[in-house]
Amino acid sequence: MSEHQSAALAAAKILVARRVSGEQGPRLPEACRPADIEAALAIQDAVTALWCETQNDSVGAWKCLQPPPDKLVVGPIYTSTINSIPPVAVWPKGDRARIEPELAFFFGKDLPPRPEPYTPADVDAAIARTHLALELINSRYAEPDAAEFPEMLADGLVNQGLFIGPEVSAEKSRHADEIQIHIECANGEISEHAGRHPNGNPRAPLYWLAEFLRSRGQGIQAGQAVITGSYAGVIEVPLDTNIKVYYTDLGMLEVSFTAK
């Protein structure tokens, strides 16, 4: 095992242990702390391998964005952390769950590694359906704001899971660059969010992801979902109460959260 592989595995053991226990901790030790994007991706791959081996799990989804300069926004979401039936157990922040309203695109065909690039038409043809979704947010760092971007990327960019809501119109969703998000909680809390997709076109990150994974000898598998960016950033909602999230002109999902 090379020095880089050894460092990635050491970091992965720390991050996987925190995923299992829900405990947050300090930044990774300097000896295994990623200094750049490639080192972060190596740790992310090591986390996936170790998690899937020890938890008998698989990659059920991906999160991504069209990356800004000098960054990559991509991370696996594990099958055991994907739910569609409430209540959903989460690692909370105090007495609140942290969510991001998104769209989830489910693939009905594999997009395996191949020599030639995937076109947007190739990706569109592989999409089977689109659902309302909530990314579930939690960091493995006690002070994530103090961590540098490669450390956050190594940890999967604060993902702890995914909630899948109802299927929605594929045609409406592909043009949903702006969505008003209205949230009603059974305890009386109401909030409004003027939602806008961070890349404009909610499918644009799919096209990037297909090419990114292809270039690394990976691929998107049939049955996997991909979320492509929050319409309203991180929203905190109460635990142990019914919550309705309305995506104007698309639909509504109902969910509730309990603390692990």
**Does residue 47 lie in a domain region?**
no
List, for residues 36-72, the tens digit of each pLDDT value.
Answer: 999 999 999 999 999 999 999 999 999 999 988 889 9
Q: Is residue 153 part of a domain?
A: yes
Confidence (pLDDT) at 70: 85
Give a yes or no: residue 31 inside a domain: no
User: Is 170 within a domain?
Assistant: yes
Does 70 reside within a domain?
A: yes
Section 152-157 average pLDDT: 98
Per the domain annotation, does 239 fall within a domain?
yes
Confidence of residue 161 (pLDDT cuts 50, 70, 90): very high
Give me the count of residues in the chain: 260
Is 126:111 a contact under the CB 8 Å cutoff? yes
Q: What is the mean pLDDT of residues 13-27?
A: 97
Q: Is the pLDDT of residue 9 over 80?
A: yes
Can you tell me the mean pLDDT for 209-224? 96
DSSP one-letter string for 168-203: E-HHHHHT-SEEEEEEEETTS-EEEEEEE-TTSSTT
Q: Look at residue 174 and tell me if it is in a domain.
A: yes
Any idea what the CATH number is for the domain that residue 71 is in?
Answer: 3.90.850.10
**In which domain, by residue range, is 127 found?**
59-259
Percent of the chain with pLDDT over 70: 100
Task: Let me know the angle formed at the C-alpha of 68 by 124 and 194, rounded to the nearest 5 degrees.
Answer: 75
Is pLDDT of 2 > 90?
no
Encode pLDDT of 115-146 as tens digits. 999 999 999 999 999 999 999 999 999 999 99
In a domain, residue 40? The reply is no
Instruction: Give the pLDDT of residue 68.
Output: 86
Res 233: pLDDT: 95
- Number of folded domains that form the chain: 1
- Report yes or no: 102 and 134 within 8 Å, Cβ to Cβ: yes
Q: What's the token pair of residue 53? A: 């081996």
